[in-house]
Structure 1
Amino acid sequence: MALVDFKYFSPMMGMQMALSIILPENAQGIGVAGAAEESTAPIPALYLLHGTSDDQTIWARRTSIERYVSDKRLAVVMMTTHLGAYTNQAYGFRYFDYVAKEVPEVCARYFNLSRKREEKFVAGLSMGGYGALKIGLALPESFSVVGALSAGCDRLGILPDAVKSINSIEELRAKRDALSPMDYARGMQFFVNFGSPAEFERNDTDNLFCLAERAKDSGKALPELILRCGTEDTLALGPNRRFKAHLDALGIQNDYAEFPGVHSWEFWDEHIQYVLSRLPV
């Protein structure tokens, strides 16, 4: 596979942004067999999202994603939203529009990647799993398969208790000295992304539980939802189970399963392979 480090000026973000893109090749060197395919048709694409603390390079650094797609006619596009949670931030950047709308269009234009729903897929881990679910449920007409590994389904649930009763970013700033540095940092990240906890609870754009209800009510054909979580994952298991139950209650089909594992790259490296096996490429 070819690995492209692509930088361009993003009109959506108003600054230079970077993508890491894996593109299919026929000849790949010793030990890796490529698919003998010479089509000039647009290439199906998986948009692969990182988790908290990482960036667009991390999947290629911590997994064998390039090897896993070596026999497929599939591009893998990786980008960063920093700590922006794939969200049009309450106080900041339009990360959701950048990832879900601008990046696929840029890749279609520069790299001949497909614009067709049936050839566009999104997946991610942890915060990126949350982002993948949000993109798939919000834009079901644009993506046909969603993979969410150890997804951060409940953004409000992981907010420190000391912050949950705060009603504005101004109040958060005023209480800075009363909070631990970690609680203040997590609270500020939440407020910048989503606004107050009270606002988030009824937000059907960023709250996955509300968004799933809106997606169901839309009557649109929803993407295939694939969720995987580790049975020892103390961060994500409870929220994943609650979200699975919510999807079931709404009658939204989902491929949910739990396997031994924690919130780790060993788990994500293993289970991204199942997501890849479900892509129609």
Structure 2
Amino acid sequence: MKKIALLLGAMLACSLTFAATVDTISIFSNSMHKNIQCVVVTPNSYQHSQAHYPVVYLLHGYSGNYGDWVKSTQSMVKSADEMNVVVVCPDGAFGSWYFDSPVDTGFKYETHVAKEVPAFIDAHYRTIARREARAISGLSMGGHGALYVAIRHSDVFGAAGSMSGGVDFTPFPKNWDIAKRLGSYEANKALWEQNTVVRAVDSLKNGTLAIAFECGVDDFFIQVNRNLHSKLMEKKIDHDYTERPGRHNWNYWGNAVQYQLLFFRDYFRKQGTAQQ
């Protein structure tokens, strides 16, 4: 029994040694004139080397915040550690949809995520400060935000993904505070449409971004994701699209994020920016 106890103790010590570090930091937003919190996950190897690392930005959903990814699924933290990437989880507030609102000047989360957060992270962490070493993804509202921001800022991000993303919110004119950010759908249809991912891809050229997105077949966003896939196929834009059994919940996203991180790791390897 003593030998078994010693063995278990050694195994526990090893598991604790090889673990990512999770920090909560505050980033001042010049565009919104306030401090905004953010989670940064660094792999275990970051603490023991002077190497520079690629970064994956993960965005939360409508009713969530910057802490959701680490609070709701340990699979992300474990995968970040195993794949040797830094993961950054910015805050997108309650219902920002990650665009700069023309209605509420206090909501400039496109600017925050696309410019302010990467600039801060590159200045304070050992990152590879190039688009070829930056990827962005998210769930639900954050899935929309990740693709929307990446398409509009392909000089910042080289790869983008989405999990259960609200990639076209025009079929849902009464939901999720979108009218607070864009005005009513009835009076502002053109404004609504131009702030969706499905419209943003009109400006996208093949090879600009490495794209992977997915949705559960029992998710209420499944049809808008299928529509996005069809549009990308029509435009001959290379991308990975996946449907699996699943609903709009953490059981699905905890699994999906592992595939997203694998896709990004492969992208970083192809770009020569992966940390081995």
TM-score, normalised with respect to structure 2? 0.82
CA drift of 1:259 comes to: 0.5
Which one of the candidate residues 60, 72, 97 is aligned to 2:83?
A: 72
In 2, Cα distance between the equivalents of 1:199 and 1:214? Answer: 21
In 1, Cα distance between the equivalents of 2:81 and 2:96? Answer: 31
Q: Which runs of 5+ in 2 are unaligned?
A: 1-19, 269-273
Does the C-alpha gap of structure 1 residues 156 and 52 become closer, same or farther in structure 2, counting only changes over 3 Å?
same
In 2, Cα distance between the equivalents of 1:247 and 1:52? Answer: 25
C-alpha contact 2:182 2:191 (8 A) present in aligned 1: no
CA drift of 1:196 comes to: 4.0
CA drift of 1:194 comes to: 2.3
* 1:22-33 to 2 correspondences below 5 Å: 22-26=41-45
**Aligned residue for 1:113?**
127
**Aligned residue for 1:264?**
249
* 1:25-174 to 2 correspondences below 5 Å: 25-26=44-45, 38=49, 40-64=50-74, 65-82=76-93, 83-92=95-104, 93-160=107-174
Q: Which runs of 5+ in 1 are unaligned?
A: 27-34, 161-185
C-alpha contact 1:45 1:76 (8 A) present in aligned 2: yes
Which one of the candidate residues 201, 204, 218 is aligned to 1:215?
A: 204
TM-score, normalised with respect to structure 1? 0.80
In 2, Cα distance between the equivalents of 1:136 and 1:251? Answer: 18
In 2, Cα distance between the equivalents of 1:97 and 1:41? Answer: 28
Percent of pairs with identical residues:
26
Q: Deviations over 1:73-101 (max 9, x none)?
A: 21110011111010101222211010111
Q: Deviations over 1:203-243 (max 9, x none)?
A: 67512222101223xxx74211111111111x110111111
In 2, Cα distance between the equivalents of 1:148 and 1:72? Answer: 19
**Aligned residue for 2:178?**
190
Does the C-alpha gap of structure 1 residues 201 and 68 become closer, same or farther in structure 2, counting only changes over 3 Å?
same
Q: Secondary structure at the match of 1:87?
A: coil
Q: How many residue pairs align between the two structures?
A: 242
